[in-house]
Structure 1
Amino acid sequence: MNYSRFLMTSVLLGGLCSAQNFFELPNVSEKFNVIVTVESCTDNQCSGKTTFDIYDKSSMKKYQTLSSDNFYLDLNENRKPALDSLKKSVVFDDFNFDGAQDIAIRNGNNNQESPFFEVYLNDSSTQQFVLNDELTNLVRSNSGMFTVNSDSKRITAYLKNECCWSLTSEYVIVPERGLLKVSEFEEDTRDSKKVTTIKREFIDYKWFTKTTIYPREVYFKEENNENTERN
């Protein structure tokens, strides 16, 4: 049976909602296909209560249904999910580096008015996505979704205060203990004449701190040169 036809038939038979607020997301994950049913949609966006029917691509069986009370998704000119918005609303990745795909779903905004996500880890023993409070709180206390580096096995969170102050924090996951912060980089550009950076590293169970103050014009010249070299 054609996979897309199978999913569409499953949704229609289940009577989830009208097709107007129904979207299939086949490319958000290598392993899973997602059917999104949103409470309210206009010509260019959807928002509100949302259900996510997650299907295993290999077996074509429903894996799980998750929900969001305050989902948001931009639509393109064809009234399909806009790719940039989709990447900021449904995120599949291996957040705890155990080899299984996990999922984060947008659910409103956090205290800094940044997109808030609820993070679910894939429990191999139960074959279910389970809400992880620690990673969800990490999103809540920072400015949007964190990123993961599968090579270094580190999680990076970003916190910004308007234009002129930012904090980048890196974490590792300690088995049976959870998140452990191992570094911070603070950048303060609020002074009109200088820039202050503070680098903190957790090494051998101790924190080491290095504070550097740059003339403003020197700091941004060096930063621009680094960006040019990277490009």
Structure 2
Amino acid sequence: MKERLLLLLGILPVLATAQLTYTITDFSTTYNATIKIEQGFENDAFKKGSFSIVNTTTAKQVLFIESDELIIETDNNTEEKINTISLPYDRQNFLIFQDFNFDGLEDVAFMDGRNSCYGGPSYQIYLQEHQTFVHSPEFTRLSYEYCGMFQIAEKTKTIHTMTKSGCCWHQFSEFKVQNNKPIAIKISEESMNPNGMLLDYVEKVRVNDQMVETKYSV
């Protein structure tokens, strides 16, 4: 499946004979990420190329994705003629390196476009397993079906999402991870009038294998 990658800001451009290479460093003591744009596609809106992650200790490539639709936006201050320009990990939104399933191993999310609600960023999620990364449709779905990237609560080992419709309906969901999949344990929905006054509140809580719903009216 072709992936659409969105890279915000310039990230270590290196000129090569056949392709333009960007590397993202300083996000892990174990891994580096690389984006390669094929020659002739450098100035296209959708660029042909690949995205990969390499273990810096073993030099082994642990994730590789090819795409005809890379979207790379560089910082205006980036000089692509310079071989090495370092940009700290915390100054870019393309790559997230974090433990999503609470197994003690850091996983990878990379922005593939703006496919969540109201044009918010969407991410492809890969879970780390046995020193490699495996795509998770279930975690990826969380970044598509809600507003932006989900939030991690490390103390409670829960995942939190939010979505909305217009000004007057909001939904907040809380998930636990079971068998490497996020399972909803609580969903809260609130409806308001245009002045922000709460009209209805619905709460769904997981009891065994079912969601039990309670409705409140104001």
- How far apart are 1:129 and its partner, in Å? 1.3
1:172 alignment partner in structure 2: 176
1:91 aligns with 2:93: no
- Residues 75, 82 of structure 1: 8 Å contact kept: no
| Alignment correspondent of 1:137 | 141
Q: Hey, what does 1:182 align to over in structure 2? A: 185
Q: 1:84 to 1:57 in 2, by over 3 A?
A: closer
Q: Which residue of 2 aligns with 1:217?
A: none
* TM-score scaled by length of structure 1: 0.67
**Is this contact kept in 2: 1:36–1:50, CA < 8 A?**
yes
Give the length in aligned residue pairs: 195
Name the TM-score, length of structure 2 as normaliser. 0.71
How has the CA–CA distance of structure 1 residues 135 and 70 changed in structure 2, closer, same or farther, with 3 Å as cutoff?
A: farther
Q: C-alpha separation between the residues in 1 aligned to 2:195 and 2:13?
A: 58
Q: Which amino acid aligns with 1:118?
A: Q
- 1:1-231 correspondence runs (5 A): 17-18=19-20, 22-38=21-37, 48-68=47-67, 70-79=69-78, 86-87=92-93, 89-110=94-115, 112=117, 113-124=119-130, 127-175=131-179, 178-192=181-195, 194-196=197-199, 198=201, 200-202=203-205, 204-205=207-208, 207-209=212-214, 211=216, 213=218
Q: Give the fraction of aligned pairs with identical amino acids, expressed as a percent.
A: 24
Question: Which whole-Å CA distance do the structure 1 matches of 2:203 and 2:26 have between them?
Answer: 39
Structure 1 regions of 5+ residues with no counterpart? 1-6, 214-231
2:142 match: secondary structure: helix
Residue 118 of structure 1: how far off its partner (Å): 1.5
Q: What is the match of residue 225 of structure 1?
A: none
Look up the equivalent residue of 1:54 and give its one-letter code: I
Query: For the Cα contact (< 8 Å) 2:27–2:89, is it kept in 1?
Result: no
Q: 1:75 to 1:175 in 2, by over 3 A?
A: same
Cα pair distance change 1:193/1:163, threshold 3 Å = closer
Letter in 1 for 2:146: N
CA distance in 1, matches of 2:107, 2:194: 41
Mapped contact 2:123–2:149 kept (Cα < 8 A): yes
Deviates more, 1:47-56 or 1:138-147: 47-56
CA distance in 2, matches of 1:182, 1:141: 17
Q: Name the structure, 1 or 2, with higher relative contact order (CA <8 Å, separation 6+).
A: 2
**Counterpart residue number, 2:82:** none
Deviation above 6 Å: which 4+ runs of structure 1?
A: 80-85
Note closer, same or farther for the CA distance 1:8–1:74 as it changes in structure 2 (3 Å cut). Answer: closer
